[in-house]
Structure formats: structure tokens, C-alpha cells
Homo-oligomer: A and B are copies of this chain.
Amino acid sequence: MVRQPSVAAQNRPPLTRERIIEAALRIVDGQGLGRLTMRRLGDALEVEAMAIYHHLPRGKEELLDGLVAHVAVHPAQIGRTGRAADWRAALRGWAGDYRARLLEHAGVLPLVVTRRNPAALASTTASLREILRLAGLPERAAADGAHALLGYVIGHAALEVRGEAAGEEAVDWQARFTAGLELVLTGLAAQNPR
């Protein structure tokens, strides 16, 4: 497959950090994380692999960090209703969206779980904590609860992707996810003084 460098270079959009990360996500979603290589990514962008390093100086590490940020940064909408009393509805909405996002990009789940990109989940966690605080939970309980929620959603998504069902027949994962979420919400409500 031969490309004419000078001519083709005019016809394609300029290489940007964003275009690179989107193309990488497309490869991961379609072929799996194991097939994401700098050379293949270059092919997808109609560019030599080495051109990528000009936009992501830290190379593949920075690329993977970008994928995690693109998928895992998704704060809960605090003021969607404006009423703190709707905290359960807000959390249900966020959890459903977050789960869908993780399942849609299941290939990056192992990266979300790894140490990379420590700041990626921070904004999400902070938004959950704030919702619980506004709902009336003490500071400490709100912080603990935010992690319980995020941990549950990520962990359950991981089990879903694996199709881990311990010899059960057909499993309604959506219903199972919701049932587990309600367990956590029930526990949180029991801590709520209001």
C-alpha cells in the first residue's frame, strides 16, 4: 500500500492530540487493546508511527492515559434538578450512564484499573461526594460513599464484560446492575439524617 507523501499530506486533516486519541479508541473498541500499536495507529491516521510522538511526547504511555481520561472522566450532574432531595435519582442516572460508557469501551477497562492517569477519576469522585454531602451525609460518610459507588460501578462493569455468571442460565445484567446499585443506595439512605 503506497501513499504519495506530499500530495496526501495536503488532503488529510492535520494530526492533533484529539484525532490521535479518537483513532486509538476506535482501534481498541473494534479490535481490542492488544492490537493497539503505534504502527497500526499510524496506519489508521495515514501517517508514519513516528509522527505521533510529535503530539504525544511521552509516547504510548501518554496515549493510554488519554484513553482513560476520554472514557472515565464523567462527573455526575449535581444541579440537574437543583433539589438535593433527588440525590438518589441523580446517582441512578449517573451510574447508568457510567456503566454504559465503560461497557461501550470495555477494552480500556484494564487501563482504568491500572495505576495510570491518577487524576482521571478525581473529578468524577468529587461530584459524587458533593451530591452525597448536599443530600445531608456527614463529610466522612459522603467521601466513603462516593468511593463505594464508583468502586461498585467499575467492579460490576468488569464482571459484566467477563460475562462472569458462575454457571447461571441467561443473566439480565442490566437488572442485576440496578439491583446491586439499590443495595448501595439503601445503605446510604440508612446513613442519612434527613
Contact = CB atoms under 8 A, between A and B. Distances in A.
Give the one of A111, A147, A188 with max B CB within 10 A. A147
Contact of A187 (B143, B165, B182): B182
Q: How many copies of the chain does the oligomer comprise? A: 2
A8 interface: no
B176 A183 contact: no
A56 to B, nearest CB: 18
A145 to B, nearest CB: 7
Interface string A90-130: 00000000000000000001111111001001110110010
* Binding site secondary structure of chain A: helix
Given A113-B113, A184-B187, A187-B182, A154 B158 contact: yes
Interface of A: 109-115, 118, 121-123, 125-126, 129, 141, 143-148, 150-159, 161-168, 175-176, 179-180, 182-188, 190-191
Contacts of A183: 145, 148, 183-184, 187-188, 191
Given A147-B180, A154-B158, 4 more contacts: A109-B113, A109-B114, A110-B113, A126-B166
